[in-house]
Structures are given as structure tokens and as C-alpha cells.
Amino acid sequence: MDKFMLIDGNSIIYRAFFAMQQPMTTSAGLHTNAVYGFTNMLLRVLEEHKPTHVMVAFDAGKITFRHSSYEEYKGGRQKTPPELSEQFPLLKDLLTAFGISHYQLEGYEADDIIGTLSLQAEQKGCEVLVLSGDKDMLQLASEHVRIALTRKGVSEIEQYGPAEVEERYGLTPAQIIDLKGLMGDASDNIPGIPGVGEKTALKLLHQFGTVESVLENTDQLKGKMKEKIETHADDARLSKELATIFREVPFDASWDSMKYEGIQAATAVTALQKLEFKSILQRLNLSDVAAHPDATLDELNADAESHVAPMEDLKVTMLDEQHVSELEAVLNTVDVVHVESHGDNPHHAELVGVLFGTPEEYYFLTPDVLKSDAATAIRSWLADDSIPKQGHDLHRADLVLFWDDIAFAGAAFDIQIAAYLLDPTESGQSLSALASKYGLPVLSEDDSVFGKGAKYKVPEQDVLSQHLARKAATIRQLVPLQRDQLEQNEMTPLFSDLEMPLSRILADMEKQGVAVNTDELRALGKEFEQQISKLVAHIYELAGTEFNLNSPKQLGEILFDRLGLPVKKKTKTGYSTSADVLEELAPYHDVVQYILTYRQLAKLQSTYVEGLLKEIHPKSGKVHTYFRQTITATGRLSSQFPNLQNIPIRLEEGRKLRKVFVPSQQGWSMLSADYSQIELRVLAHISDDAGLKDAFVHDMDIHTKTAMDVFGVAQEQVDSNMRRSAKAVNFGIVYGISDYGLSQNLGITRKEAGDFINQYFDVFQGVRRYMDDIVDEAKQHGYVKTMLERRRYLPEIRSSNFNLRSFAERTAMNTPIQGTAADIIKLAMVHMDRALNEHGLKSRMLLQVHDELVFEVPADELEQMKTLVPQVMQDALELSVPLKADVSYGANWYEAK
């Protein structure tokens, strides 16, 4: 039976454009990100569904037959970005080169072409798959027509037939147009009935069936709903008509012209080379095309020796203790390791199994087999630092194996870290998401194999081993693609010399853990409880009644109804009592400040006192945080289980929490080294501003220097308010602060704040020049870079939306500064780890918290470490101004600060 695939070209290329955060251009300057995303999706669905006929339909222009009945149809749409417009002809040329037909017809939309062809194909007895991002297509679903809707850009696809439409909406496919008739569609400027959303529309259709029936039975409705529907009856009829796909388009292309006989290799190579899609050329294995110019891709691949077995037919050997020697014999050919575990916190996770992959075969070991005497050689191989390993999230693998008493070393290529560097704003770094992104064979999500949440269950070994083997095969295919991209982006040193070594260093720090004085922690908890109890009593006294302080509803009633404070913000459920609202209300009534203090103490008690006690590991008696290397867009590390970077040290009670962190050995000290104003020093270097550089070169107080220059006064005339204002502007500039933000920080008017910022830029003209230049650079390239080539992509920098564009511009200004500061402390950690080993020191690096490194140090190494640590930190990266690190030490972390 023929299988016809119809693709909504406009819908998919739009989704691909906005999903591909990473701007791509050819060396000639052509934008190609949308074509790249579309092509990866296309190759994936062609491989998965193997159609006999394919057609990609496009809109022919802005005016269609629908405009004759409604001139405002699609009237509210924003103009297509020029970066996308220029990609339509590129995509059509590529489709032609692939041997895939595409079609458009003046006066009709792609939907109408697809609707017509799907009906004709169904009448011919074909199975039809319609691929689109538009839910309107669901009206075409039938016994032989399935609709594949893209999700998350174009990386995931959800199929619908009549049963799935019924399950999701409780409607037949034909009723989808009735749904649009009632609720309208803002994206197409279809009016519908004002105030009727999807929920209400579905309720009406479940009761009456169609738009016409709803309009005929308004006597069964009440109040405003009845009035709205009767008033806008004509709009509902028109909206249904506009939403109906026309299925009688005069189509002049022949059935044979839409036949798909495989990608035409010779023309495909030329087109892909023109677009500079190296990763797709590699993936399609087109190296033999010159020898076989008339071959299709399928014919070439049939002859070619595949490097990776088909995903559905991987050879996996499940080894027991008697047969471990089979893996020992081929250990020198193992190129991929995958460690599967369960649990968010790797320090408490359950080891599920380990998969070893060679190019020919995969070997699966259960935890029991891996820990057995028979597997001694396997464990030695895992622990050998001289043997490079490739995998996904090898940092987590190291930790999970450690708690099962299995050593791991030699992490050489972690595709999760590579994916993060290639696009730090992309949250989907799972193997299945990366497979979709790179257009590799579909990989099942873990949730579909193991179950989610309480339904989690390790499947039978044959199912588990196949799933892990597919993961390993995906890793193997991703490594060369990512390696090539890292090289193209000049990120190979950042990856190989900084992020990969740092991954191992972080794991070592986490395994070491930090000792906690539990007696001190419990005593602190009792102190907080007493303070909280007094605060609550005082708040009740000031409010004149008792109430639930943790209930926003009750607190809102007390503040705004009982005490009559001015309402600043409302939510759907009532008054807002968020922290920013309470900060604004503090001057109006004493009770507000007490409530803010109560909240801070209550959080300290629950999150840190009770939370830290829960996090003490039963094996070590220490706290082992989990440093996340692939989370923040700026390159900063984050910390979990527990988060030791978020202890609120501005509050004295928060600072006291540091007292509970102590050395793990008697007689040792805690030593802390903190970069001084690192981001402002980076700004001085990057902006090359003479005034800023002069201040740091001569070791002046930068905030006093700024106040002197901005206010035009001598050093002795700078008072505390001037310095405070200068400090707010200095740090505000780093974060791209606006006049509004500065006015809020300093309690001054926006005009005063704006004048102050302008004065600052008049004095520090190098900073102003840098800000202008970096925004221009971001608009030109679509990204900004740190000094170490770390990129952050900013697709919104060209947005027509003012708020999105402004945010992107501020991000462009501060990312090179914050990102370089993050790179510097990471470099310091790598250099510090090397220095500790080279000097044969027992001192241990325990924590990284923002710009601070924390160590535990034996008494006989203290003097050496007081000199060595700041020296290594100051030499981490050469700037045109000196880096400075302040060092302190004591019996606990509090004393070391």
C-alpha cells in the first residue's frame, strides 16, 4: 500500500526557526538555522515512516480566497523576520535537490493543498501522514489520515487519528472547525466569540455538537454567555468558515511527480555543501557519492559499511559472572560507556546497570556482576585514568559508581557538556532530546521505558539492555558531530582544557564532602525557633489578631482589609504578598518588616537547619553537594542537594549557618579565598576604559573612585551616600541595569537615576563604547562570547518586541563580563587542583561559591596555602588589570570569612 506524507512547509520552517536558538549562517552570510532544523526533522520522519510519496506544501502569498469574506484574516500577524524570509528559497532548493516535490498555489494556503491531496490520496486507498505544527490540521484526521503535530519546536512529534482527537478533546475531527468557530484563533486573527476560550468552547460542543446547534439553542444558556453568543453569532459562523480547510484546490501536479524514491545523493551533496551542513553530510554517509553519481542515498547506504548498527537491531550481550571474560577480551575496543542510575541526587542514586559499547557489539552488566570478583579487570579498566571514555553525563556516572565502591576515571568526551557549550540556553540535554536535535534515529524517552515518578520500575534485562545499547549508539554518533561543531566554534580548548577537567575536579570535591558540626546546627535551629516564636507573637500583637502567617490569603486580608495598607498588586486568587510587594509596603507599617524577617528565618530553619540534617550522608557523616556544570546560561556553576551557594549571608543569622561547616580532621582549618570585584575588573579589561583600569592598577577603592569621577569631588569629599550610589551603578552596569532598576535600588526618581547613569557614561566612555559595540556584535552574529570563547546565543536581539529585544541587549552587555568571571574561577580551580598535586599537599578543595573557593587545610600547610591559593587565583587569566583574591581562615567556614 502506498504511504503519502504531506508536510506543512510554512508551519514547520517557522517552528524550526524559532526553536533553533543557535543562529547559523554560511560563510557567505546566509541564515540557515530554520533550514537546518527542518532538514533534521525531515530526515528523521523519512527514515521512520518510509513514505512512497512526499509533498511539501507552502503558502503562495498573503492574500487567499478567505480574504474575500474577511479582509482582516491573519491581519494581526507580525512581519516575517528577514532572517527567516531568506531561508524559504534555500529550503525549496534543498527539497528539489533531495528529489522531494513541493507545491504552492496563488490564492490558497498550504493547509488547503494538504487537505485536497490527503482526500485524494485516501480515495486512492493510500495511508496518509500529515506533518504540521498547526492544530487546525486535526480536522483532516480519519481512518486512513493521521496528523503528526510537532512539539517543542520540531524535536518531538505527537500523532493523532480520530481516537486521539476524541481522547484529547472529546470531539470528532470534524468538530475541530466548530471549536475554532467558537473560540477563534488569535494567530490567524479569526475572531470567534469574545470571552469564549477552549474550555468553554469544549463544554458547549459537548452539549450541542456544532456551532450552528449552539446558536439555535441559546435559549438553554444564561446570563452573559447567552448574550455574548447571540451578539456574536455571525462572528462564530464566519470563524467556522475561515477555519475550515478547503479540500477542492485545483491541483495540476501528477501523482507520479510526488513519488519519493529516496534522497538523490549527487544533488543532495551539492546542496548540503552549499548550505555548509557538515554534520548532516557526515550523518548521511555521503563519502561514496563521487563514485556513484546516479545512486540514491538508500542505495549508497545499502552498500556502505555502517559504523553503527540499526537502532532496532543492536547486538547486546548480557554478561553474568561466568562470561565476563568476553568483555575483558574486547576492552581495548570499547569506545562508549553508559552508566544508568535512578534518583535525582547522584549521592543517593541507585545504580541500575552499565553498558559497554564497541563498534560491533554491546555488553550489559548488572550492578551485582560489575561488583563481583569476576569483574575485577572491568573495574580496573573503569578506574584507569589513561584510558579515555566517552559518554553522557560522566560526572554523574563517576558519583554513582563511587557510592557503590567502584572507581571511575578517564572521562574524555561528555556529550552533555559539549551540548551545553554549543547552546547553553537549551535545557534539553537528555540523550533523546539530543538525538532529535541532531536528526538521529528516534531514541525512547526514559519515562516510557522505566515509568515516571511512583510508577518507576526497572524493566526486564532484555528491554533494559536494548535501551541502554541504543543510548550508547546515540552517544557514538553524537561525538563526531559535536567535536566538529566545537572545532567550528573555536570551543575545543574551552571543552578539553577547562570543562572536561573541571568535571572530574567537581566530582572529587563532591565525593570528599564537607563535615558538619551537627550539635552546632541543632543549637542554631533552637535559636531560630525561639526568634521565630517571638516574631510571630509580636506580629499577632501588631495585627490585633492571630492568623496563619504562611497563608497568602489570610496575610493579604490582614494587611489590606484589616490594616488598610495600599494594594500594590493583585493575583487571580486575591492580594499579592510577594517579597517585592512587602518591601514596598515596609514604610507604611512596622508589621511588614517583622513579616519579612519571619519569612527569612523560617526559610533558614526549614531549608538549611532541617534541610542540612536530612542531607548528611549515612556513609560519610558529611554533606555532599552536587555541582551542576550544565545549567546556567552564563557558565556559572550551580549547586544542589543541598544548595550551598544560596545561603543568605547578608542576614547575620544566615552567616551563622557557616559556623556549622568545619574541617573533617582534628587540628585542620577552613580556608577561604574570594576574588575581589572580579566582574568590575573584567569590565575594565574588556572595555579598555582608562579610568577603570587606572583605579584597579593603583589598587584604589573602585566605588570611591567612581564617586569621585561622577560627582566631580576629591577623595576626602566622598561621603557614604555617594559611595553607595557609585557602588549601585558599578554593579548595575555589569548587570545591564536600567534607570528604573537603579531608582528602585537607591530610592530615587527614575530621572535622577537616568541622569546618574548618563553621568557615569560621560566619565567612563570606554564602558559606554563597549556596551554599544557588544550589542552591535550580538545583532550581527546572534551571539556574544567570553574571553575563553564561551558563547551565549541571543535570538531575541533582533526581535520586534521591545521588551524581548531590551532584555537581549542587556544580556549581551553583561554575559561577556559574567561569563568571563565564571571562566576565570573555573580556570583557577583547574590550576589549583594541579598545584595541590604538584606540591604534594594534603589540603583539599571543598566548595566553589560564586567568586569564592573553600578549602580544608592541615596546620602544617596553612602558611603555604595562604600564599599559594591567592597566587594561583590571581594568575588564572592574564588581564590588563590585576586580579586580586582575599584569603582568610579559621576553625569553621564562618571564621574563614
C-alpha cell at 432: 533523546
Task: Give the model's pLDDT for residue 357.
Answer: 96
Virtual torsion, Cα 441, 446, 449, 453, nearest 10 deg: -160
Three-class secondary structure of residue 652 per DSSP: helix
Quick one: pLDDT band at residue 317, thresholds 50, 70, 90? very high
Helix (H) or strand (E) holding 867: helix 862-874
| Least confident interval from 18-32, 304-318, 684-698 | 304-318
Which of the four pLDDT bands, split at 50, 70 and 90, describes residue 66?
A: low
Residue 147, pLDDT above cutoff 50: yes
Does the pLDDT value for residue 844 go beyond 60?
Answer: yes
pLDDT value of residue 310: 43
Please determine, for residue 104, whether its predicted confidence score (pLDDT) is greater than 80. yes
Environment class of 388 (CB within 10 Å of its CB; exposed 0-12, middle 13-18, buried 19+) = exposed
The secondary structure of residue 80, as a DSSP letter, is P
pLDDT band at 114 (very low <50, low <70, confident <90, very high): very high
pLDDT higher than threshold 70 for residue 294 = no
Instruction: Please give the Cα distance from 575 to 56 (Å, whole number).
Output: 51
Q: Report whether pLDDT(871) > 90.
A: yes
Report whether pLDDT(543) > 80. yes
Most confident of 27-41, 667-681, 729-743: 667-681
Tell me what percent of the residues of the chain surpass a pLDDT of 90.
Answer: 46
| CA angle in degrees (0–180, nearest 5) for 126-131-132 | 140
Question: Rounded distance, CA 340 to CA 366, Å?
Answer: 10
Buried b (16+ CB within 10 A) or exposed e, 605-637: bebbbebbeebbeeebebbbbbbbbbebbbbbb
pLDDT value for 298: 60
On the question of pLDDT at 309 being above 50, the answer is: no
Query: What SS3 state is found at 853?
Result: strand
**Mean of the per-residue pLDDT values for the chain?**
87
710-to-251, 688, 734, 741, 759 alpha-carbon distances in Å: 71, 18, 17, 19, 6
Quote the pLDDT of residue 475: 96
**DSSP strand pairing (336-342 vs 350-357):** antiparallel
What number of residues does the chain have? Answer: 897
In the block, residue with C-alpha cell 559508581:
401
Q: What is the C-alpha separation between 798 and 808, in angstroms, rounded?
A: 9
| Burial (CB count <10 Å: 0-12, 13-18, 19+), residue 501 | middle
Q: Please name each of the domains of the chain with its CATH number.
A: 3-243 (3.40.50.1010), 261-303 (no CATH), 316-513 (3.30.420.10), 516-623 (1.20.1060.10), 663-689+772-897 (3.30.70.370), 694-763 (no CATH)
pLDDT at 64: 62
Q: Which pLDDT score, from 0 to 100, does residue 887 have?
A: 96
Q: What is the pLDDT of residue 194?
A: 80
Q: Could you tell me the pLDDT band of residue 331, with boundaries at 50, 70 and 90?
A: very high
Q: Is the dihedral of CA 868, 869, 874, 877 positive or negative?
A: positive
Q: Is 9 exposed, middle or buried (0-12, 13-18, 19+ CB in 10 A)?
A: buried
Band (734; pLDDT cuts 50, 70, 90): confident
Torsion angle of the four alpha carbons 884, 890, 892, 893, in this order, in degrees rounded to the nearest 10 = -10
pTM value > 0.85: no
Beta strands in 115-164 (DSSP E): 127-132, 145-151, 156-160
> Which three cell numbers, joined as nine digits, stand for 835?
598545584
Pairing of strands 389-391, 411-414: parallel
Q: Which three cell numbers stand for residue 616?
A: 548528611
Euclidean distance between CA atoms 833 and 831, whole angstroms: 5
Closest residue by Cα to residue 570 from 585, 560, 558, 583 = 560
Q: The C-alpha cell of 645 is what?
A: 551557594
Residue 740 has pLDDT above 50, yes or no: yes
pLDDT of amino acid 290: 44
Beta pairing class for 852-857 and 844-849: antiparallel
Ranking 291-295, 701-705, 769-773 by mean pLDDT, the lowest is 291-295
Nearest 5 degrees, angle CA 604-CA 610-CA 612?
90
The torsion region of residue 192 among left (phi > 0), alpha (psi -120 to 50) and beta comes to left
874 vs 854: CA distance, rounded Å = 16
Q: 210: burial class by Cβ within 10 Å (0-12, 13-18, 19+)?
A: middle
How many percent of the chain have pLDDT more than 70? 93
Contacts of residue 618, defined as CB under 8 A and 6 or more positions apart, other chains included, come to none
The predicted pLDDT at position 307 comes to 40
Least confident of 38-42, 423-427, 752-756, 876-880: 423-427
pLDDT digits 0-9 by tens, 346-389:
999 999 999 999 998 999 999 999 999 999 999 999 999 999 99
CA distance 769 to 762: 11
Q: 857: pLDDT confidence band, cut at 50, 70 and 90? A: very high
Half-sphere exposure of 586 (CA within 13 A, CB side): 11
Residue 852 confidence class, pLDDT cut points 50, 70, 90? very high
Distances, alpha carbon 887 to alpha carbons 647, 843, 854, 862, in Å: 20, 15, 10, 11
CA distances from residue 216 to 118, 175, 220 in whole angstroms, order as listed:
33, 17, 9
The candidate with the shortest Cα–Cα distance to 250, out of 60, 130, 108, 65, is 108
Residue 641 to residue 774: CA distance in whole angstroms: 37
**Calpha distance 659→662 (Å, rounded):** 7
Task: For residue 770, give the 3-state DSSP assignment.
Answer: helix
DSSP labels for 731-766?
A: HHHHTT--HHHHHHHHT--HHHHHHHHHHHHHH-HH
What are the beta bridge partners of residue 55? 6, 101
Confidence category of residue 91, pLDDT binned at 50, 70, 90? very high
